Chains A and B, each alone.
Chain A
Amino acid sequence: MSLFLIAALPFLGAIFPGLLIRAGRNASASAAGLASFLAFTGLMIHAPAVLRGEVVTARFDWLPGLGLNANFMLDGLGFLFATLILGIGMLIILYARFYLSRQDPMGQFYTYLLLFQGAMVGIVLSDNILLLLVFWELTSLSSFLLIGYWKHLPEGRQGARMALAVTGSGGLAMIAGMLILGHIVGSYDLSVILQNKELIQSSPWYVPALILILLGCFTKSAQFPFHFWLPHAMAAPTPVSAYLHSATMVKAGIFLMARMWPVLSGTPEWFYIVATTGLVTMVVGAVIALFKDDLKALLAFSTVSHLGLITMLLGFGTKVAAVAAMFHIVNHATFKAALFMSAGIVDHETGTRDIKRLGGLRQLMPITFGIATIAALSMAGIPPLNGFLSKEMMLEEAFHTAWLDSHVVIPALAVFAALFSAAYSFRYISHVFLGSERQDYPHHPHDPGPGLWLSPAILVVLVVVIGLNSATVAGPLVSASAQAVIGGELPYFKLKLWHGFTPALYMSIVAVLGGAVLLGLHKHLERFWNALPRPEAKVIFDAVIDVLTSLSRFVTDGLHNGIISRYAAIMVTFTVGIGYYAYATGSIGVATRVPLDAPIIPIIGWICLVGATLAIMWFHRNRLLSLVLIGVVGLIVSMAFNYLSAPDLALTQISVEVVTMILLLLSLNFMPTETPVDSTKARKLRDAAISIVAGIGAGGLIYALMLRDFAFPTISAYHLENSYKGGGGTNVVNVILVDFRGFDTFGEIIVLGIAALVIFALAESVLSSNVRAYLLNRKPHWPQSGDAHPLMMVVVTRVMMPIALMVGAYIFFRGHNQPGGGFIAGLVVAIAFLMQYMASGYTWAIERQRFYYHATIGWGVLIAAATGLGAWFNDMPFLTSDFGYLHWPPLEEFEWATAMLFDTGVFLAVLGAVLLALDSLSRFAWQPGIQQEYPMDINPQRDTPPVPGTGPETVARAGKET
């Protein structure tokens, strides 16, 4: 089976449990189990090849430009982890089916679980570190969902947040580390990176990359001092704890350390960081675990301790230690998952996980007792179980390792941790199962059905089988994975129970006996432990989070205090600063272009423009006057466009100008016409300083630009050359819009349409609020004109209407070859309609309205899209245009082009958008009584004169000022 499929199966399978939950919980669980089983089978097909030492690969270039390839590889290490993930995954799916109660949404659970499973499989099969990072983040996210699965429990939510915060920030550090690593090697493919040990270790970036990657590994694998999230994640349902927090997710960090072992290990930095962290974690976790009364907390800290053990082994950097690490990964996964599940059974049956309330369950729950005892003895390192074997190897390695020239530190601490490990394992057995039966269990306990105990039982069988026949059962897997880690010749090692009277054996005996003694002294030790002052990780974490929150709130509130002028000031100042930096550090070439002469007419225009602009600044409190002045500016800008060889721009600017002025006048109708003085002198001076600097910057930049030629050849020549040959039009600007850059234009008409719809929606929401009453009862600020709809204006606009439409059509049709086109024609036709609004009133115009503006926008976009899609039928890319020539006697020969159809779409969208925007605004002005107002009072068809009393004062003032 392709590796793609193996990695994808859990993701694909994740859809089904959520859907099939309607068919019952069994269907949901079976779907989840089937997905895992198929993936597991696919994996096993590759087993013979992988155990022979081959590497299975699947390659697919996803984003080669970024170095991100969807490359997968399956070697011994990946195979070991994938087997654990999928194999234990199936057992967990079975267990969870019987563990979760009827109230729990089981479909969701399996969906999250499979998402997590897929992400984990993705991590261990990735052959590209960027791809690995994607899956890495996915595990953080899906484990967040799983830990917080019981949403109603505050502990669950807090634990999930804490886990996400810790592992997520570690993941961020790791992204940086991986990018550095990829940068050193020049490739993001693992198979390439793993070949470049010397290159990486000699790079000055080795230590930063190492630390950043290790941060990711340590947070994920709960290494000291990041271990605190794991016990809090125990708020998750037990199947999640058994799966994520013993067998899989917390091992992802270890997996990565093993994966990177060939290139990162072997240096003193690696040894002191990794081995020391592992050692400290192992000791701290083991000691805390002994004093935890919550079964799952005990197991959580023991997991922390064992993860520290594996990390320490990897940190040693020797080949045998790597083999021992691989072996302990297998063993720990089997006994710890079984222990978690047995703890879950105890919790499920007795209703409590508090060791102080338990004891004497041996008779009541014999099966659970058997499972838990074997698993716990394995954890304690008792022969002939598998935990003994790997712990023995660990002690042997520890014995031979010196730390800062001291041959005592590591062996002593390793024995110390092993001693506590034995003690808490014994405590788990004796304080829960041994002793006399109690009468005060929350529920009367008895063994559950096989659905619950089958999964841990299978694991416990493995614990025993591996212990007895380690060389045959686990040997090949351990060899294959260790070979993948070491990347070379395997050292000599033997997985067996009896190695003779070695130092490790004595250390083991000390640990087990000492553990038994510790358990006997537990009561006294506990009193001492509880009297000790201990830092509480959650308190510290919450305090840190609080500080960070208030810090970011301080920064955010300082910058974003709700006054938009402050954001604008910050943005402008920053932009000017960047510009100045570029100017100060860069170089500027000499002017290569000769400036054009400035005759008198442009100078007059310039004086008008600058004068109007300064007048706006001066008079901006008088809003009506500033509108008039801004109209002057717009007019001169359009004339300037025309003068400087841009007739299309001039046409567009002037028609937009008209529409914008109408819009602003309409809005001013409802707003105060004066701006009060708000700013102090100092503020004005500050603002003036900012704006003058910004103006000098913008003006200076464009002046320098205009006097120099292009630094690179532009693509404009191409457009000029191909406009007629390829696009069939001589107006290059229009051909660019509808043909060369048609896709941009398509996007732009959509944006314009959306803007118009936003305006419509805003108007709707304002009009449906209590503002409507205010609008209806509004009294004008000043005396109204006696004649709302002057007869002359009404007559003139109606006569002009067909002419204006004709002009619009003319501008539209000539657009491809002469200045004009859909944009301008749309604006012109919109103005033709607006004239009717202004002259004859909104009500009159709307009654004669035959089409909806929304639909006009929609049709415009659809026609443009359909034109673009048409190209597909000729096997051309989207929006490829075509053109030709027709000769219909007695007409002259004329041209047709599909771009014309596209331009029709542009035309309709612009028309609809402009009219919808202004129409929405006009509706604010509607007032009752307006229906009686006739725009043309002389109408021979009408007999009754206008009703007196509905005089000019109630008239809508919509178009009056214009």
Chain B
Amino acid sequence: MEALLASAVGVLTAAGVFLILRRRTFPVILGLSLLTYAVNAFLFATGRLALNSPPVLNKYAEVAYTDPLPQALVLTAIVISFGMTAVIVMIALGAYLSSRDDRIDMKAHDSVDAAPGEDA
């Protein structure tokens, strides 16, 4: 089971990194989403894996519980990463609609040193 999860994290990371190295906004967003899965699964796995022992206390029997702390961390991480994805999507969309171009590299005249007001 550990090998499955670790290899899945590895594959997700590799795919995510590959996609964030692309030059268009959409693949980068996809790559970030994949990286988010990878990171969340990674954080979750730091609590070590356990089956059938959710951290919900059982009043009637002595049972084992898995580590609740990484779960709490990952829960908020999932929600926050939604917020992050939404912001990036909005930035990408605004940039695309303003310039009709979804490349993420700046052209020479877009850089800071160029005089402002060149592209209307």
B-binding residues in A (CB < 8 A): 561-565, 568-569, 572, 593, 595-598, 602-603, 606, 609-610, 613-614, 616-617, 620, 623, 626-627, 630, 633-634, 637, 640-641, 643-649, 652-653, 656, 659-660, 663-664, 667-668, 670-672, 675-676, 678-679, 687-688, 690-692, 694-700, 702-703, 705-707, 709, 714-716, 719-720, 723-724, 730-733, 736-737, 741, 744-745, 748, 751-752, 755-756, 758-759, 762-763, 765-766, 769, 771, 774-775, 817-819, 823, 827, 910, 913-914, 917-918, 920-921, 924
B15 touches A698 (CB 8 A): no
A-B contact pairs, 5 of them (CB 8 A): A598-B1, A617-B15, A690-B18, A707-B2, A823-B76
**Contact partners of A692 in chain B: CB under 8 A:** 14
When each residue 58-81 of chain B gets 1 if its CB lies under 8 Å from chain A and 0 otherwise, what string results? 110000011111011011101111
**Are the C-beta atoms of B37 and A648 separated by less than 8 Å?**
no
> What separation, in Å, do the CA atoms of A759 and B102 have in the docked complex?
18
The prevalent SS among residues of B at the interface is helix
* A-chain residues with CB within 8 Å of residue B84 when the two chains form the complex: 755
Interchain CA distance A688-B54 in the complex, whole Å: 38
A827 CA / B78 CA spacing, docked (Å): 12
Chain B: minimal CB distance from A808 (Å)? 15
* Residue on A nearest B106 in the bound complex, by CB: A562
Within 8 A of A (CB), among B29-68: 29-30, 33-34, 37-38, 40-42, 44-59, 65-68
Contact A752–B80 (Cβ < 8 Å) = yes
Give the chain B neighbours of A653 by CB distance below 8 A. 40, 78
Q: Mark B76-114, 1 if CB is under 8 A from A, else 0.
A: 101111111111011111101110001111100011000
Known pairs A562-B111, A706-B2, A758-B87; A766 contacts B97 (CB<8 A): yes
Q: Given A644-B51, A716-B69, 9 more contacts at CB 8 Å?
A: A617-B19, A633-B37, A644-B44, A646-B74, A671-B92, A687-B21, A698-B38, A755-B83, A765-B94
Residues of B within 8 A of A (CB): 1-30, 33-34, 37-38, 40-42, 44-59, 65-69, 71-72, 74-76, 78-87, 89-94, 96-98, 102-106, 110-111
Q: Bound state CA distance, A692 and B12, in angstroms?
A: 10
What is the CB-to-nearest-CB distance from A168 to chain B, in angstroms, rounded to a whole number? 24
Contact B13 A699, beta carbon cutoff 8 Å: yes
* A637, A723, A763: residue with the most chain B Cβ atoms closer than 10 Å: A637
Asked if residues A716 and B68 are in contact (CB atoms below 8 Å), the reply is: yes
A667 contact from B15, B78, B92, Cβ within 8 A? B92
- Separation of A910 and B101 alpha carbons in the complex (Å): 32
Report if A920-B82 is in contact (Cβ < 8 Å); known contacts: A595-B3, A637-B41: no
User: Could you tell me the distance in whole angstroms from the C-beta of A305 to the nearest C-beta in chain B?
Assistant: 43
Are the C-beta atoms of B74 and A649 separated by less than 8 Å?
A: yes
Asked if B51 and A759 sit within 8 Å, CB to CB, the answer is no
Residues of A within 8 A of B6 (CB): 699-700, 702-703, 706
B94 touches A762 (CB 8 A): yes
Least CB distance from B103 to A in Å reads 8
B13 to chain A, nearest CB (A): 4
B residues less than 8 Å from A724 (CB atoms): 57, 59
Q: B49, B52, B69, B80: which contacts A719 (Cβ < 8 A)? A: B69
- How many whole Å from B42's CB to the nearest CB in chain A? 5
* A702-B5 contact, Cβ under 8 Å, with A563-B105, A664-B89, A675-B26: yes
Instruction: Among B44, B59, B89, find the residue whose CB has the most chain A CB atoms closer than 10 A.
Output: B89
Chain A positions within 8 Å of B89 at CB level: 663-664, 667, 921
Contacts of A715 in B (CB 8 A): 69
* Residues on A with beta carbons closer than 8 Å to the beta carbon of B111: 562
- Say yes or no: B67 contacts A714, CB within 8 Å: yes
Contacting pair A720 B21 (CB below 8 A): no
> Could you tell me the distance in whole angstroms from the C-beta of B93 to the nearest C-beta in chain A?
5
User: In the complex, A69→B72 CA distance in Å?
Assistant: 38
Known: A613-B11, A637-B37, A675-B27. A598 touches B56 (CB 8 A): no
Those 6 A-B pairs whose CB atoms lie nearest each other, nearest first: A699-B10, A695-B14, A562-B106, A703-B6, A755-B83, A563-B105
- CB-CB under 8 A from A765, the residues of chain B are 94
Closest to A599 in B: B1
Would you give the shortest CB distance from A339 to chain B, in whole angstroms? 46
